[in-house]
């Protein structure tokens, strides 16, 4: 997934995010190993995220980091609780079997209250997410 040149980007701890002209949020991980974050860091990151998107739910297309490690149950539950109130629907793009396994684990053990689906390419992910971006 390429970052368009005509959008305002925001640098987060582990990714770069932007909102396209349709209001869909995109997230691309920074190269290299993911940043390990504790609860305080996650809360700080979520505060910054909410400032960017405003007081609303968004549709999100996220490129998975193939170097991610599986989160612990405690981390999974905490992260899920933090994003449940800001995400309308989420499309996760991954071509890595390991990333797919981690995403399946995350969504399978704590199913989100919003639609979530995995894709192998951006085109299919965006086409699917559009139905929820109303």
Q: Please state, in angstroms and rounded to a whole number, the distance separating the CA atoms of residues 69 and 63.
A: 15
Q: What pLDDT sits at residue 106?
A: 66
Q: What pLDDT sits at residue 59?
A: 97
CATH number at residue 109: 3.40.970.30
Q: Please state, in angstroms and rounded to a whole number, the distance separating the CA atoms of residues 20 and 23.
A: 5
- Please indicate, yes or no, if residue 3 is contained in any of the structural domains: no
Using the predicted structure, report yes or no on whether residue 71 has a pLDDT greater than 70.
Answer: no
Using the predicted structure, report yes or no on whether residue 69 has a pLDDT greater than 80.
Answer: no
Candidates 1, 45, 108; CA nearest to 116 is 108
- The structure's pTM equals 0.86
- Please indicate, yes or no, if residue 80 is contained in any of the structural domains: yes
Per the structure, the count of domains in the chain is 1
- Please indicate, yes or no, if residue 115 is contained in any of the structural domains: yes
Q: What pLDDT sits at residue 75?
A: 73
Q: Please state, in angstroms and rounded to a whole number, the distance separating the CA atoms of residues 73 and 96.
A: 22
- Per-residue model confidence as pLDDT tens digits over 9-61: 999 988 899 999 999 999 998 887 666 777 888 888 889 999 999 889 999 99
Range of the domain at 47: 9-132
The two three-digit tokens of residue 129, written as one number:
């997410």
Torsion angle of C-alpha atoms 86, 88, 92, 93, degrees rounded to 10: -110
- Please indicate, yes or no, if residue 71 is contained in any of the structural domains: yes
- Please indicate, yes or no, if residue 1 is contained in any of the structural domains: no
- Please indicate, yes or no, if residue 2 is contained in any of the structural domains: no
């Amino acid at each position: 997934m390429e970052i368009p040149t005509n959008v305002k980007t925001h640098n987060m701890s582990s990714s770069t995010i932007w909102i396209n002209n349709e209001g869909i949020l995109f997230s691309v991980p920074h190269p290299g190993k993911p940043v390990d974050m504790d609860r305080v860091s996650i809360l700080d990151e979520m505060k910054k995220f909410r400032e960017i998107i405003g007081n609303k739910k968004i549709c999100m297309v996220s490129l998975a980091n193939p170097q991610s490690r599986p989160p612990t149950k405690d981390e999974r539950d905490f992260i899920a609780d933090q994003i449940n109130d800001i995400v309308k629907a989420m499309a996760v793009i991954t071509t890595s079997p390991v990333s797919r396994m981690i995403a399946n684990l995350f969504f399978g053990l704590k199913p989100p209250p919003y639609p979530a689906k995995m894709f192998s390419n951006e085109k299919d992910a965006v086409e699917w997410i559009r139905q929820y971006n109303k």
